[in-house]
Amino acid sequence: MNTSTPSPTSPTDLAEALAGRLIVSCQAPPGDPMRETSTLVRLARSAAAGGAAAVRANEPEVVAAIRAAVDLPLIGLWKDGDTGVYITPTVRHAVAIAEAGADVVAIDATDRPRPDGSTFAAAADAVHAAGALVMADVATFDEGVTAAAEGADLVSTTLSGYVPGTPVSPQQEGPDLDLVAALSAALDVPLVAEGRIRTPQEAAQALARGAHSVVVGTAITAPTALTGQFVAGLTQR
């Protein structure tokens, strides 16, 4: 056994560390000026300084750099492509993120074919074998229930509103709080509210609707998108 590998975080310890708290997603899309490893590390350090309970980050190099710089639970993913299953789409991507030092690997757990022909369950098993925990990124209630039964340690509403053909919540512009409430009530594992949470009030509402913790990305770590929202606001006078 490689003694330099950190001991796996237990699901119970992780749930305790995240209860009622904020996870900050420190990502930048392709082509964005913020998409640079040391910049993303600074975002993660800022999140830690501001009181975040955990960080979510994309790609092995960034995950490894944040792991070395920030002493918080780290949720890693590996986005590959932007259509179909693109969040940690294969077993290979999932294992690489665990090996880069993520405590938790976030994996697409939607009911869609995966590029390597594998399954969410197979990716989850591989992550557990590598000593990390699994967050299932889902779009629907049924996907959340299935992912928990297949070994997810956490379920997140990350993909609600982003999968063509899936039910769209009435409050599509904002977070899918109806899905948050339904999954929180049904699951035995922590339900994380994620996706389009733009204000502290919406984050608090997600907890009030039953979420165990809340992920915020764009509203904290994406100046390009935020600037665009203000620019668009000014043109709507």
**Helices and strands of the chain, counted as H and E runs:** 10, 8
Q: Which residues contribute to the site for ligand LRY (CB under 6 A)? A: 25, 27, 77, 87, 158-159, 162, 194-197, 215-219
Listed in order, strand segments (DSSP E) in 78-119 are 104-108
Nearer to ligand LRY, 5 or 227 (CB): 227
Q: Minimum Å distance from CB 218 to ligand LRY?
A: 3
With respect to ligand LRY, which residue has the nearer C-beta, 129 or 180? Answer: 180
Q: What angle do CA 86, 23, 118 make, to 5 degrees?
A: 25
Task: State the nearest-atom distance from the C-beta of 163 to ligand LRY, in Å.
Answer: 9
Least separation in angstroms between residue 237's CB and ligand LRY is: 26
182 or 193: CB nearest ligand LRY = 193
- Contact call for residues 138 and 110 (beta carbons, < 8 A): yes
Residue with the CB atom nearest ligand LRY in the bound state? 217
Minimum distance of ligand LRY from residue 196's CB (angstroms): 5
Q: Identify each DSSP E strand in the chain by its residue range.
A: 21-26, 54-58, 74-77, 104-108, 133-137, 154-156, 191-194, 213-216
